[in-house]
Structure 1
């Protein structure tokens, strides 16, 4: 029986090639989008699950009150480690101190590479359940040890066994290879960690870390933990909640510190905090794309339902004959569902081919490393369920509708589909275009929000600005010589050093007081250590006062500042507003007993997120503290290639042990938009596909209606109707449906997009013209889609259509 169903279904597909192509093609695109989004969501939901201890790992975080609001941060003081070990150690299987992920120079003989890694305590490899290729998890117990990822081990040692071999980090730390681990997958927070080295080694080479042992105010470190099996994150968080508050001095207790555990399961999808409360994160994109995938698949299913029910009169006689010879309704339903199943299976095969061929492009667009799980039995099981659900979704309504025809009326020729028979199709078309119009609005607003941030004044000149991180003492010692050589060679116009990159803030300090300061206001500022020529190099804009100058001895703070001298500082505009200073130049402020004199005010420089307000910032000249970055303003008369070649030659001559590893300021700044741009591009691609699927269904319906009204069109032409009259007659119904869709889509889109924009403090306002543009676009697309069939029918020879009358 089922064999005959499929034979009949195949014959119907072959008989109506045009409609079959629209059905299968539309469903295939819809299913391909659903599969791609499904793979993307699975990758997001499985983030960090590579680590076997995923359910028991957490990051220690803190909350603190500032100026009436609660901030949340991952940076912590070093003495918290000892507090957790000594008082609460029985709650933890591992407590691991870590320094921040960073780029370092790894060298073996003449081979030197720049690689990203971390310095962590010995329990890290076991806690993270690294898959060891050589060595064991205990490798970091040796204070002078390093564990390499497989790719870095290959780059440094080739095919040789790296175990127990000596190498160097940053040309100053000699270490022994004690382990090689499998490269971490792309969907883990530690994906960029290409080596792990000893925490004790890093501390031994940084005196400031030793001095931070008992400083509760120095929040410069990271702490990861693994809790014991017999406890929970909530119970441990409650126990350690006051572990910092009860140890800080009386002055700092006003910050109301709270320590808590943030489980690994929430790091990726729930990473945003506002006023001490978790407000989500990427989980909103998981929901958004999940809904988009569902809607796009629904649009494809709607096409199938619309075309199947629209062509019902052509199959009415077949249903009547079958019922007359004894077919039961459930048999007719089974037949029509089998036809639906065949279409969905063919569409699924085509969808898999589309996904397989477009996956590399999709990975590049979404910054993923997704693979097609063809060898995974769960994939095929889910696919089977997916096919069955889609078959039922797309085929149930046509099956129930077609099987309900009265055989007597059909065979007597008195069957009519009824004046409201097309109402369900019209509702489905409205639903299709509601989704499409909402996606058009979303795409426009996401694009405008990104452009709004990109066009934001950054306060400095990013063009031809090169940043080089000082990773080695060789580079730090010879930075003055490099400065002179770069200028003398003509490759650089200006050169300066800084303690933070231009695209980030690495230092924050409190303890500032100023005249008429509100006692309830916290004096905390982003603190940028620089050299004299920093302003000239980056091209900042002085708004009041002057720039730093070597002519003034007080413009530079030495390693041991004199508390009787008022050293010069420059503040940004936000800092002046924050402090409420009307005449800031020459104002003396106090920093924990050291007087500082404001000599200048610069326009705000966007160093962090371009979507958020600039923080209050202080710039100070200190050559020993400005030891992290070299900033080079390239001669504008040289091309980037020429300049890089000359700088590379200078570095090889002066610091041959240090690889020339550079970053362009404009490129690094552009990376700040990467996440939003990816979301915008994905949304725009899905919007285009949704509109295409909707138009595909619209095209099929228009062609069917034109075919159905062939004789009517012929009569109207004979009676004098023009092409325009006929085009208007066939198009107006679809235009009305699209207008109804617009009325529904606009308020829905506004509600959700307005909510999305609230996460950005620096954001656009939703303008009315965006919705007008979306509406006009939808109407234009509709008219273009329908007009082909309408004009084709209007231009047809009426003699041909009326010949049988």
Structure 2
């Protein structure tokens, strides 16, 4: 029986070649889109699940409130918190801490006997308990004891090969840092970084007990400040994370009340987040270790995939029900000889299932061929092995079956319930309600298409707004060159003098943070006569003289730094003046106070600069003060040239002549700033691609539908032409109903798209206003596409010879 159904289904599909081709193409495009999105979405799940007992490992996170408002939400915590929690609560089995050294200094690393040194990102210092909490696959050494001793480090397999080639790295010496600050470390382990996806993603890890900032972390006692350490606790089996979190307010009050008061914090809240949730559920939380995804972004992509596939299904439904009269006699005869409605339904569902599964089969090699484009679009690294995953295979089969069922169930019901006497007499077999339903489906298709077009326009507008908005400094033609080492920093003046002699170099300055970098340093400041308990956190940037001229940041009041200035002389931005209610005309006589323990320092404002965006446009411009720096991390070069290759070559030659064994590591500032909005850029590009696909599928359906309508009305068109009807009137006859449906879709789509895009824009402090013309443009585009699609087939019918359509009468 099944074989017979299959054979009949195959014959029917071959008989209606145009309809089958349109349905197959639509379903294939939809399935490829779904598959590409599913591959990417699946790649964003499963982070940190490979760690043993991952469900019991939690990161301790921090929210700091000031003046009753949530002022700072960070993924990190103060240094002593993790181990204090372990001491106070028996349900905690183990604790550990780690922090990125990248945000404080960029140390060089090299094999001890090699002259080749490298700046490597994602460098951690971690406690000896790190590998007792987290599971890593060691290919050399033993993980439980790898970080027990000072001067120990663990390398990723990639870095180990980079430093030592194919030799075994275990036990070998590594030089970390440079000059007087250089330390010799011993490799105690090598891990395979491809084993499991993690939010940590280290390149190498240094023992926390190694002298320097690691020992500072170990000895630091305040429970309020220096929230830069990533802290983790591992609970004992069957312990309640909710129960532990409910005890943390009392714990912090008991342990750190004086620290919080001394730091001027109204309230500090500690929370626990399971490590398997970090990658997808950290929206808005600052100081993430590694780039995280956003579950809302993935939901958007899944919704996009759903609607694209649904549009393809609607095509199938429309074409199948519209062409029901073509199969009326077949159905009538089969019913007369005893076929029941259920057997007919199975037959028609079988046809749609066969077509759907065939589309799934075709989509697999197509998706494999398109993987490079998908990777470029999503910034992922998907391979064909991801496609061969059993989960993806299962979902594909389910997708094919569901698509076939959704596409075929309504046409199957309609066709199987045709009365045989009407079918055999060639009577009208479809009720007017079915035509209304088809129109509703066409409207739905264009609601989706118009909404997607509006989404693309708004996302592109916002991205361009972030690109074109005046950031308050000149990012074009600006190079940031990593200084990195104390030796290079000490030679800043020499480098500056030699660089200025190179054609194309206009100005040079330096600073601790490059534009687009997160400014982590801050101080609690207050006005004279105030007290530290009511201080305000102000971001701190260290710069050299000439910084504002190089960046083209205008001074509003006062002067720039000079070589004679000291660290108690500061320049502030306008946001700082507003925060402390200082008038611009009074700024140069104002003082700000900072306190550390028993020490109190008074800082004098010598200048005020115009507000500039030193962080993402998603955040408001925060209060900032700048002071002279002796050992900057970055050198900034303002350039003007048409031959950047020659300029960079000259800079590198001069760099190597002045600084020994330090890589020439540069970046273009405008490109780095652009990276801040990678997610929005990707969202825009993905929306454009899939909007085009959704419109293509809709147009395929319209083309097929109008082809059938034109065929049904060919005799009417012939008669009209014989009676003198013009080509234009015939085209209008076939197109006006479809244009009306698009206009109805525009009315429905406008409020829907406006609501969801308004919600998306709320994530941006600086954002565009949604204009009415966006929806008018989206609707006009949909009308144009419809007219071109329908008009082409209508014109073909209108210019056809009426004799051919009437000669059978």
**TM-score with structure 2 setting the length:** 0.92
Residue 396 in structure 1 maps to residue 409 in structure 2? yes
Identify which of 598, 603, 624 aligns with 1:596: 603
> Deviation of residue 678 (structure 1)?
0.7
Residue 107 in structure 1 maps to residue 118 in structure 2? no
Match of 2:437 in 1: 424
> Deviation of residue 215 (structure 1)?
7.4
**Residue ranges of structure 2 left out of the alignment (5+ in a row):** 287-291, 595-599
- Superposition pairs for residues 212-227 of structure 1, below 5 Å? 212-214=220-222, 216-227=224-235
Match of 1:665 in 2: 669
Match of 1:631 in 2: 636
> Deviation of residue 497 (structure 1)?
2.5
> Deviation of residue 59 (structure 1)?
1.7
Identify which of 293, 307, 331 aligns with 2:343: 331
* CA distance, structure 1, for counterparts of residue 293 and residue 116 of structure 2: 41
Identify which of 487, 507, 513 aligns with 1:500: 513
Match of 1:688 in 2: 692
CA contact (8 A) 2:224 2:263 kept: no
Deviations 1:267-306 (A, max 9, x none): 222212489xxxx971111221111111110100110111
CA contact (8 A) 1:496 1:632 kept: yes
Residue 765 in structure 1 maps to residue 801 in structure 2? no
* CA distance, structure 2, for counterparts of residue 742 and residue 637 of structure 1: 50
> Which region of structure 1 is more displaced relative to structure 2, 392-401 or 83-92?
83-92
CA contact (8 A) 1:575 1:617 kept: yes
CA contact (8 A) 2:110 2:117 kept: yes
* CA distance, structure 2, for counterparts of residue 790 and residue 263 of structure 1: 60
> Deviation of residue 209 (structure 1)?
4.9
> Deviation of residue 51 (structure 1)?
3.2
Match of 2:570 in 1: 569
CA contact (8 A) 1:430 1:737 kept: yes
Q: Secondary structure at the match of 1:384?
A: helix
Match of 2:35 in 1: 35
Match of 1:190 in 2: 200
CA RMSD, aligned part only?
A: 2.4
> Which region of structure 1 is more displaced relative to structure 2, 3-12 or 97-106?
97-106
CA contact (8 A) 1:474 1:658 kept: no
* CA distance, structure 2, for counterparts of residue 288 and residue 641 of structure 1: 42
Counterparts in 2 of 1:754 and 1:40: CA distance versus 1, 3 Å: same
Deviations 1:295-334 (A, max 9, x none): 1101001101111111000000000000011111111111
Identify which of 795, 804, 807 aligns with 1:803: 807
CA contact (8 A) 1:241 1:260 kept: no
> Deviation of residue 519 (structure 1)?
10
Identify which of 523, 538, 542 aligns with 1:525: 538
Counterparts in 2 of 1:645 and 1:248: CA distance versus 1, 3 Å: farther
> Deviation of residue 537 (structure 1)?
2.2
* CA distance, structure 2, for counterparts of residue 318 and residue 207 of structure 1: 85
CA contact (8 A) 2:502 2:651 kept: no
> Deviation of residue 358 (structure 1)?
0.9
Residue 368 in structure 1 maps to residue 380 in structure 2? yes
* CA distance, structure 2, for counterparts of residue 549 and residue 146 of structure 1: 42
Residue 267 in structure 1 maps to residue 268 in structure 2? no
CA contact (8 A) 1:437 1:775 kept: yes
* CA distance, structure 1, for counterparts of residue 196 and residue 492 of structure 2: 36
* CA distance, structure 2, for counterparts of residue 393 and residue 757 of structure 1: 34
**TM-score with structure 1 setting the length:** 0.93
> Which region of structure 1 is more displaced relative to structure 2, 390-399 or 258-267?
258-267
> Which region of structure 1 is more displaced relative to structure 2, 70-79 or 203-212?
203-212
Q: Secondary structure at the match of 1:475?
A: helix
CA contact (8 A) 2:208 2:214 kept: no
Match of 1:563 in 2: none
Residue 147 in structure 1 maps to residue 154 in structure 2? yes
Counterparts in 2 of 1:89 and 1:762: CA distance versus 1, 3 Å: farther
- Superposition pairs for residues 179-328 of structure 1, below 5 Å? 179-184=189-194, 187-191=197-201, 193-201=202-210, 203-204=211-212, 209=217, 212-214=220-222, 216-246=224-254, 247-249=256-258, 250-252=261-263, 254-273=265-284, 282-328=294-340
* CA distance, structure 2, for counterparts of residue 527 and residue 419 of structure 1: 72
> Which region of structure 1 is more displaced relative to structure 2, 119-128 or 359-368?
119-128
Identify which of 770, 774, 779 aligns with 1:775: 779
Deviations 1:228-250 (A, max 9, x none): 22313222222233444442434
* CA distance, structure 1, for counterparts of residue 502 and residue 429 of structure 2: 89
> Deviation of residue 546 (structure 1)?
2.2
* CA distance, structure 2, for counterparts of residue 601 and residue 533 of structure 1: 14
CA contact (8 A) 2:714 2:805 kept: yes
Match of 1:723 in 2: 727
* CA distance, structure 2, for counterparts of residue 429 and residue 215 of structure 1: 62
> Deviation of residue 196 (structure 1)?
1.4
Deviations 1:327-370 (A, max 9, x none): 11111111111111111122111211221111121111111122
Q: Secondary structure at the match of 1:580?
A: coil
Deviations 1:603-652 (A, max 9, x none): 222111123211111111132xx532222223x14632122212211222
Q: Secondary structure at the match of 1:130?
A: coil
> Deviation of residue 417 (structure 1)?
2.2
Match of 1:92 in 2: 93
* CA distance, structure 2, for counterparts of residue 591 and residue 222 of structure 1: 30
CA contact (8 A) 1:57 1:264 kept: yes
Deviations 1:470-526 (A, max 9, x none): 433332333333233222445643332222222234344343223798999642211
> Which region of structure 1 is more displaced relative to structure 2, 466-475 or 175-184?
466-475
> Which region of structure 1 is more displaced relative to structure 2, 669-678 or 648-657?
648-657
CA contact (8 A) 2:27 2:309 kept: yes
Identify which of 620, 627, 652 aligns with 1:620: 627
Match of 1:19 in 2: 19
Identify which of 127, 130, 135 aligns with 1:129: 135
Match of 1:585 in 2: 587
Counterparts in 2 of 1:795 and 1:107: CA distance versus 1, 3 Å: same
Identify which of 424, 427, 436 aligns with 1:414: 427
> Which region of structure 1 is more displaced relative to structure 2, 80-89 or 702-711?
80-89
* CA distance, structure 2, for counterparts of residue 101 and residue 718 of structure 1: 82
* CA distance, structure 2, for counterparts of residue 767 and residue 571 of structure 1: 37
Counterparts in 2 of 1:654 and 1:187: CA distance versus 1, 3 Å: same
**Residue ranges of structure 1 left out of the alignment (5+ in a row):** 558-566
Identify which of 367, 380, 397 aligns with 1:355: 367
> Deviation of residue 775 (structure 1)?
0.8
- Superposition pairs for residues 723-762 of structure 1, below 5 Å? 723-762=727-766
Match of 1:562 in 2: none
Match of 2:177 in 1: 170
* CA distance, structure 2, for counterparts of residue 378 and residue 188 of structure 1: 20
* CA distance, structure 2, for counterparts of residue 637 and residue 383 of structure 1: 54
* CA distance, structure 2, for counterparts of residue 346 and residue 123 of structure 1: 53
CA contact (8 A) 2:97 2:127 kept: yes
* CA distance, structure 1, for counterparts of residue 622 and residue 726 of structure 2: 67
Deviations 1:58-105 (A, max 9, x none): 221122212331132234322334523432365132322434556542
> Which region of structure 1 is more displaced relative to structure 2, 526-535 or 461-470?
461-470
Counterparts in 2 of 1:791 and 1:491: CA distance versus 1, 3 Å: closer
Match of 2:45 in 1: 45
